[in-house]
Amino acid sequence: MSFKKNVYVVILLIILFSFGSLFAQQRIDSKYIVRTFIDEEGNSIDEIIVPGRPPVNHREPVVDLPDPFVSDAINILTNVPAFDWSFGCSATSAAMMAGHYDNTIFPEMYTGPTNGGVMPMTNAIWGSVTINGEVRKQCPLSATRNGVDGRTTLGHVDDYWHSYGSSNDPYYGNWTQHTYDDCTSDYMGTNQYQNFGNTDGATTFYNYTNGAPLYDYSGCEPAQKDGTHGLREFFESRGYAIQYSGGDYQNYSQYIYGYNGNTIGFTYNQFKAEIDAGRPVLIQVEGHT
């Protein structure tokens, strides 16, 4: 695959821990904050685990969306897939973002044989699989698996998944793990306990505690992996470059304005601007993406 140096993708991961209000003031449940530490430059950083699992037998009701009309503050991104949870909420949501780009301006995000090489709007075509008594929906853009979507070698699910919350990586001590390739969960560190300490279903993210954006964080490596940095690596693996400006790659995590009293967090106006620009935003809502 040739590297498309002139194509840029902006990744925005807004860490939103909401308690019924977009501009939440309360502190997130401590069970999601692994630790708070000071980096080499004196900045305070939260290490956050996002272990979200799908609610049992729950579906939001179907709603009729208004027609996009930007001048009236109504704008909706089209061609955004709606995937069932597939081996991690953060990786599944990131796959939805990648699927949107695949259907619009960056067609190399998904290159499998299904749907003529264009990512479908749902992952229903790949069905489900029962692993250790748990029924899980499949999506090769979120988590690859041998035998799914034409794959003939071991993938993410084969190497790293045992059961929700498990620290058992099946490959460990048994075979060599696969080389990262076609799915978001590989690069984001999702489900990888031996590599990054993430139990099955979990992804780790890092945020400045003062609400400033934390760009492309890699200071935790090699012991841990920031999901936002990993998402940049996934997009680059597909042949796309991430926008670089002001000395930083423009993929970042950030608390919302007002969270824990901060005055420099991500605002609703910024969110609207990203949607107006055609860029999806990943939102974390207390343990879920």
pLDDT in tens, 84-96: 999 999 999 999 9
pTM: 0.88
Please, which pLDDT band fits residue 18 given cuts at 50, 70 and 90? very low
Mean pLDDT across the chain, nearest whole number? 86
Q: What percent of the chain has pLDDT over 70?
A: 83
Give yes or no for residue 182 having a pLDDT over 80.
Answer: yes
Average the pLDDT over 11-37 and give the result: 58
Q: How far apart are CA 44 and CA 1, in angstroms?
A: 39
* Residue 6: per-residue pLDDT: 34
More confident residue, 280 or 57: 280
Average the pLDDT over 266-285 and give the result: 89
* Residue 33: per-residue pLDDT: 87
Q: Which residue range forms the structural domain that includes residue 17?
A: 4-54+69-283
* Residue 30: per-residue pLDDT: 72
Average the pLDDT over 144-153 and give the result: 98
Range in 45-59, 130-144, 155-169, 271-285 the model is least confident about: 45-59
Average the pLDDT over 12-30 and give the result: 47
Average the pLDDT over 218-228 and give the result: 95
What is the number of structural domains in the chain? 1
Is 113 a domain residue? yes
* Residue 44: per-residue pLDDT: 97
Give yes or no for residue 58 having a pLDDT over 60.
Answer: no
* Residue 11: per-residue pLDDT: 44
Is 61 a domain residue? no
* Residue 7: per-residue pLDDT: 39
CB distance 275 to 74 below 8 Å: no
Is 151 a domain residue? yes
* Residue 17: per-residue pLDDT: 40
Give yes or no for residue 132 having a pLDDT over 80.
Answer: yes
Q: How far apart are CA 148 and CA 151, in angstroms?
A: 6
Is 91 a domain residue? yes
Average the pLDDT over 223-242 and give the result: 95
Is 64 a domain residue? no
Give yes or no for residue 9 having a pLDDT over 50.
Answer: no
Is 288 a domain residue? no
